[in-house]
Amino acid sequence: MIREAQEPDLEEIFNLIHTSFANKAESDLVRQLILDKDLLINLIFESSDTILGNVVVSKVTMEPDIGLFCGGVAPLSVLPEHQSHGIGSKLIKAAIKNSEKMKMDALFLLGDPNYYERFGFNVSNLKSDYMAEHFQELELTKDCLVNVESEVIYANAFLSLK
Ligand SMILES: CC(C)(COP(=O)(O)OP(=O)(O)OC[C@H]1O[C@@H](n2cnc3c(N)ncnc32)[C@H](O)[C@@H]1OP(=O)(O)O)[C@@H](O)C(=O)NCCC(=O)NCCS
């Protein structure tokens, strides 16, 4: 079952992210996004009271601002022993649906295009701090990113990941 994360879930989520990435940087990132109030969506996949997966969407801005409401999907984490069973896909689809409900115009993410193209993401031509071939976009408002020349800016917490 997928649901919004609540305060009592947070320590379990941080442990899950740490385990999935085998690295503390991504769980520290989510802690900081929460402290900075830059989180838009925090979803968990739960089975028998255990959290098996998590996806986070945080605020993204554009410089110059052209009035679009956008989010950055990161990180996506599934416990190693539960990977390749469709949990990551379910979480991404739910994150997209929730973003649409919140009337976001577009989502961005960094990741392997081979994985994310199945959800409609395309490699983005927009400027960002990230490697061009892994930086992807999904328009939720049709054509909202066409001819955009602004730079995509992630929340401050991402600065420590660079
Ligand atoms: C990436 C991740 C979230 C996918 O979750 P999942 O529940 O295993 O994914 P699903 O079961 O929905 O999809 C499995 C598919 O994704 C592919 N896949 C898994 N991880 C991948 C990755 N890092 N890059 C590309 N493809 C990947 C699998 O090969 C499989 O492909 P197939 O459907 O063609 O067989 C999970 O593997 C994970 O937590 N990895 C460690 C953390 C991480 O790298 N997060 C993503 C950062 S962008």
Per-residue pLDDT tens digits for 19-69 = 999 999 999 999 999 999 999 999 999 999 999 999 999 999 999 999 999
Which of 15, 83, 158 to mutate to test ligand 1, by most ligand atoms within 8 A of the CB atom? 83
CA of 115 to the centre of ligand 1 (A): 7
Extents of the domains making up the chain: 2-157
CA atoms of 110 and 123, how far apart (whole Å)? 9
State residue 130's pLDDT score. Answer: 84
Is residue 162 over pLDDT 70?
no
Q: What does the pLDDT average to over 115-138?
A: 93
What is the CATH code of the structural domain delimited by 2-157?
3.40.630.30
Is residue 81 over pLDDT 90?
yes
Q: Is 97 in the pocket of ligand 1 (CB under 6 A)?
A: no
Q: What are phi and psi of 89, to 5 degrees?
A: -65, -45
State residue 149's pLDDT score. Answer: 94
Give residue-wise pLDDT tens across range 130-160: 878 899 999 999 999 999 999 999 999 998 8
> CA angle 112-115-121, nearest 5°?
85
CA of 84 to the centre of ligand 1 (A): 6
State residue 132's pLDDT score. Answer: 81
